[in-house]
Homo-oligomer: A and B are copies of this chain.
Amino acid sequence: MRWKDYFIPTSKNPPKDAETVSHKLMHRAGLIEKISSGIYTFLPLGLRVLRNVENIVREEMNKAKGIEVLMPSIQPASLWKESGRWEKMGKDMLRFKDRHGKEMVFGPTHEEVITYIVRQHIKSWKQLPLLFYQIQTKFRDEIRPRFGVIRAKEFLMKDAYSFDMDEKGLDISYQRMRETYFKIFSRCGINVTIQKADSGVMGGKFSEEFVAEGECKELEVGHIFKLGTTYSQNMKAYFVDKDGKEKPIYMGCYGIGIGRTVAAIIEGNYDENGIVWPVSVAPFKVIIVPVNMDDENIREKSESLYSELIEKKIDVLIDDREESPGVKFADADLIGIPLRITVGKKLKEGKVEIKIRKENRSVEVPLENSVRWILDFLNK
């Protein structure tokens, strides 16, 4: 990608309401734009990170035999009345009537919808176990949105729902999700601890939270629940067991805040100059900085390096702006690209400078070896 063709509105000043490092840096690095209290647009760079996190989540969920679906944001109130949560939910659930006067909600979670789908199609023990998941937009009317995307009103979430024959099956599904979550957060470059939690309006008997390490103690990034048979009994999601008896399905549910995970990654990966993305989620893996776009040799060598990296399918950004090297270096640090290739005065000796953002050190590499060097580094 060429910086001049792209949209990365970096800034020196964090927003006034920003209390956390991630909120400040997400704004300053041009990842998000506030539209209203607790409501954000993901700008191009932020969206790239969001998609990278999504893909890690998707890969690990698929490995755990998760089946992806996409449920609607808007749900009929009738399902919430069946489950018994219509009365239990507080003011953070957005309720409204459609133009025909039918009561609807903007779903803050999807136990009701998935249970409705399962009861239509699952009749026998032979069809179990099942694990469904989606990556979908949710809305909770937070009384006090804060910390940027960490406690937002509208947010992207991965929510998963397991369906088992009995409590033993549920335990196995739960354990598999628990392990999957550790893999996901590790791949995202986040250290998490797990702690017992209150199940709240989800109900069920047992739940655990995944809390990311970092200064901001808010950051539950994941929450997993053993729901048992509360929903299946209330909503009549039964199956016929091996012995011919009708039984309620055992359920679990498993959430990851995708936007929150992006913020948590920053909380654990930054320095005084900006974000330090782990390679796995970085919006671009490499940024090429030609120190002077008017110098023909510098421009040509930068362009050919850029083309070569694209050919090797490396996500690369070239800073082709007519800005001073100082501005370009500061922005490259701020947006946290893992490798910065400076094409400048060392070119006379046939070399480029490669700065490793995380280690804050540079190496000089002969131009002709630079692509090999970059590939080796990224594949480490």
In whole angstroms, how far apart are the Cα atoms of A73 and B35 in the complex?
A: 11
CA distance A79 to B65 in the complex (A): 44
The reply on A179 being an interface residue by CB < 8 A is: no
Residue on B with the closest CB to A50?
B70
| Chain B residues within 8 Å of A137, by CB | 73, 137
With contacts A7-B130, A141-B98, A141-B99 known, is A75 near B35, CB below 8 A?
Answer: yes
Asked whether, in the complex, the Cβ of A139 is within 8 Å of the Cβ of B44, the reply is no
A135 shortest CB reach to chain B, Å: 10
Chain B residue at minimum C-beta to C-beta distance from A141 = B99
Among A89-97, A232-240, A300-308, the stretch that binds chain B is A89-97
Complex contact A40–B72 (CB within 8 A): yes
Closest Cβ neighbor of A5 among chain B residues: B65
**Size of A's binding interface in residues, CB under 8 A:** 50
Shortest CB distance A269–B (Å):
22
Q: Which residues of B contact A141 (CB under 8 A)?
A: 98-99
A310 on the B face (CB < 8 A): no
| Residues in B whose Cβ lies below 8 Å from that of A40 | 72
Asked if A33 lies at the interface with its beta carbon under 8 angstroms from chain B, I say: yes
CB < 8 Å neighbour of A91 from B41, B44, B99: B99
Q: Which of A112-120, A182-190, A290-298, A345-353 contacts B (4 or more CB under 8 A)?
A: A112-120
Closest to A37 in B: B102
Give the residue name and chain of the B residue nearest to A113 (CB). B35
Interface residues of A in 1-57 (CB under 8 A from B): 5-7, 9, 33, 35-37, 39-44, 47, 50
Assess whether A99 is in contact with B67, with CB atoms less than 8 Å apart.
no
A380 at the interface (CB under 8 A from B): no
Any chain B CB within 8 A of the CB of A69?
Answer: yes
Determine the chain B residues whose CB is within 8 A of the CB of A9 once the complex forms: 120-121
Q: Nearest chain B CB to A37's CB is how many angstroms away?
A: 8
Minimum Cβ distance to chain B for residue A277 (Å): 18
- Considering the complex, give the chain B residue whose CB is closest to the CB of A107: B35
24 contacts between A and B (CB under 8 A): A5-B65, A7-B69, A7-B121, A7-B132, A9-B120, A9-B121, A35-B75, A36-B74, A36-B75, A36-B104, A39-B74, A39-B75, A39-B76, A40-B72, A41-B71, A44-B69, A72-B154, A73-B139, A73-B154, A74-B154, A94-B98, A99-B141, A99-B143, A137-B137
**A residues adjacent to B (C-beta < 8 A):** 5-7, 9, 33, 35-37, 39-44, 47, 50, 65, 67-76, 79, 91-92, 94, 96, 98-99, 102, 104, 106, 113, 116-117, 120-121, 130, 132, 137, 139, 141, 143, 153-154
